[in-house]
Amino acid sequence: MLELAILGLLQEAPMHGYELRKELTAKLGAIRAAISYGSLYPTLRRLQAAGWITEAAETPATAEDVPALTSRRGRVVYTITAEGKERFAQLIAQTGPETYGDTGFGVHFAFFSRTDQATRLRILEGRRRTIEERREGLRDMLGRAAERLDAYTLELQRHGLDACEREVRWLEELIANERSGRAPTVPPDGTAGGRREDNSPPPPGETRKERP
Amino acid sequence: MLELAILGLLQEAPMHGYELRKELTAKLGAIRAAISYGSLYPTLRRLQAAGWITEAAETPATAEDVPALTSRRGRVVYTITAEGKERFAQLIAQTGPETYGDTGFGVHFAFFSRTDQATRLRILEGRRRTIEERREGLRDMLGRAAERLDAYTLELQRHGLDACEREVRWLEELIANERSGRAPTVPPDGTAGGRREDNSPPPPGETRKERP
DNA sequence: GTGCGATGTATCGGTCCGATACATCGTGGC
DNA sequence: GCCACGATGTATCGGACCGATACATCGCAC
C-alpha cells in the first residue's frame, strides 16, 4: 500500500522523505493517522533497489555561491523512474481482496483521478460488497447473538453498523455518479478540482447533492 | 492490544484457539475484520510464557470409554491464571495515546463492562480529543489546501470529516450517559444486557434516545 | 547566546497480517 | 459403501508497518 502511495505522489513531483510524509498525511489523512518513518525509509530503500525511484543528493540552486562550506547536508530527493511509472500503472489497475479493505480502498480511492473509469467502478463495487458483508455480520450479531454480549459491546456494534450503512449509501452515490460519467460530487461553491494532469474524467456536471 | 483482548475473553471462560478467534471476531467485529492465526498463536505462546495463561490438552469427558485409540488429538484449551487476571486489570486501567487510536479504543470499549467508571470517562474523553484533532485537520485541509487536491481526494476527506463529526456526537452522548451514572444506551425492547460478572455499572436507567 | 520547535534522515524491536500447510470431523450425494 | 467438501482445529514463515529513539541543522524569539 505504501509502495503505491509513494509512487503516486512522486509522479506529481520529486520529493525528499519528510515532504513525502507530509503529502502522504495530507492525502490519506481521512483514513490513517500519519505514516511512520519506520515504514517510509525502508520502503524508499526497497523502491530504489527495484529501480522504480532514484535517489539524488540535493544540489542547492545557487551551487557556485557557497561551494562546500555550509555543506547543506542531508535532503535526499527521490524521483520516480520510467519503470516506476509503469509499476504504478500496474498497481493502480490491479484489484484484489486487499483493495477492498479499509486502508487499501482508501489509498486506491485517493488516486482515482489517475485510474480509468472501469477500474474505478470495479473498486467501488468491490468495496460496497465488502462493507455489505460486514454490515450483515453486525446485523446478525445484533439480532441473534445479542443476549450473549454486554451493553457496551452492543453499543459498539450499533455504531459500527451505522457506519456501514452510511458508507454503503456513500458508495451508491459514487457508483451512480461514476456510471453517469460525472466527476465525484463537487462542493456547492464549485471552486474545487485539482490540476488536471493525465486521465481524470471529464467533469461536466456541476450537480452537488446538498448535505444538510 | 491482542493481549488485552485474549485475557479479557479467557476471563469469561477457558477456550481453545479456534473458539477464541470466533469470540474475538464477534466482540470486535465492528472495528476489525478478523484476527489472524499468525497473530493469535504467537501471542498465546507469549502469554503462556509470561505465566498469564496455562495450556491444557483437552481431556474428553468420557475419557475412560475411548482411551487412546481414536486419540482425539489437538484442541489445546487455554485458561487464565490469577496473574493473568491481575495483568488484565492493569492493562484495562492504564490509558495512553494508543488507547485513543481506532483499534485501541475499540478493544478498550469492548471491555468497558469490566472497567471502572473513572477510567471509562477518561478513555471516552481522550478518544473525543483525538477525533476532534483529526476533524480539525480535515477541516483545515478542506478549507485552505483544497485547491491542491483533486476532486476524489476531496470527496474522501469530506467523507472522513463526516465520520469524525458523527463519532464526536456519539462520544458526547456516551460521556453524558456515563456522567449521569446510566448504563450505555439500551435497545428499545429492553431485553439486552450481558451476564453481570464483576464490576459493570448499576444500570438503573431504561432511557433510550431513539434513533429515527 | 541560547534554548526550542520545525525540519530532516535513519534504525531497531515488536506487533500483526496473509499465505500456506496439514489433520480431523460430520454430512450429504452418488 | 465411499468420498468430496466445508467446518473445525493447530501451526509457521516472510513481510508490512508502527512506535520509540537517536541525532543533526535551521531560524527565531527571548
Average confidence (pLDDT) over A133-139: 92
pLDDT tens per residue across span A91-112: 999 999 999 999 999 999 999 9
* Nucleotides of chain D touched by protein CB (<7 A): 8-14, 16-21, 25-26
pLDDT tens per residue across span B88-122: 999 999 999 999 999 999 999 999 999 999 999 99
Residues in chain B: 212
Whole-number Å distance, CA B13 to C1' C23? 26
Higher pLDDT, A59 or B69: A59
When the pLDDT of each residue in chain B is averaged and rounded to a whole number, the result is 83
| Position A66 pLDDT exceeds 80 | no
Cβ atoms of residues A98 and A20 within 8 Å? no
Residues of chain B with pLDDT under 50: 61-71, 189-212
Taking the C-alpha atoms of residue A155 and residue A153, their distance in angstroms, rounded to an integer, is 5
User: What are phi and psi for residue B181, nearest 5 degrees?
Assistant: 80, 5
Q: Which of B154, B166, B187 sits opposite A192 (nearest CB)?
A: B154
SS (H, E, C) B122-167: HHHHHHHHHHHHHHHHHHHHHHCCHHHCCHHHHHHHHHHHHHHHHH
pLDDT band at A203 (very low <50, low <70, confident <90, very high): very low
What are the boundaries of each domain within chain B?
A: 2-59+70-95, 116-179
User: What are phi and psi for residue B15, nearest 5 degrees?
Assistant: -150, 160
pLDDT at A202: 45
Classify domain B2-59+70-95 by CATH number. 1.10.10.10
pLDDT at A185: 59
Taking the C-alpha atoms of residue B46 and residue B38, their distance in angstroms, rounded to an integer, is 13
| Position A69 pLDDT exceeds 70 | no
Least trusted range by pLDDT, from A1-10, A69-78, A135-144, A163-172: A69-78
Taking the C-alpha atoms of residue B156 and residue A29, their distance in angstroms, rounded to an integer, is 9
Taking CB atoms and an 8 Å limit, are A134 and B166 in contact across chains?
A: no
Of the candidates A15, A22, A20, A200, which has an alpha carbon nearest to the alpha carbon of residue A111? A200
pLDDT tens per residue across span A170-185: 999 999 999 987 766 5
Taking CB atoms and an 8 Å limit, are B151 and A29 in contact across chains?
A: no
**Architecture label for domain A2-60+69-99:** Orthogonal Bundle (1.10)
pLDDT tens per residue across span B20-47: 999 999 999 999 889 999 999 999 999 9
Q: What is the nearest CA distance from B134 to chain A, expressed in angstroms?
A: 8
Q: What is the nearest CA distance from A64 to chain B, expressed in angstroms?
A: 33
Contacts of A183 (CB under 8 A, 6+ apart): A177, A193, A200, A201, A202, A203, A204, A205, B151
Taking the C-alpha atoms of residue B103 and residue B98, their distance in angstroms, rounded to an integer, is 8
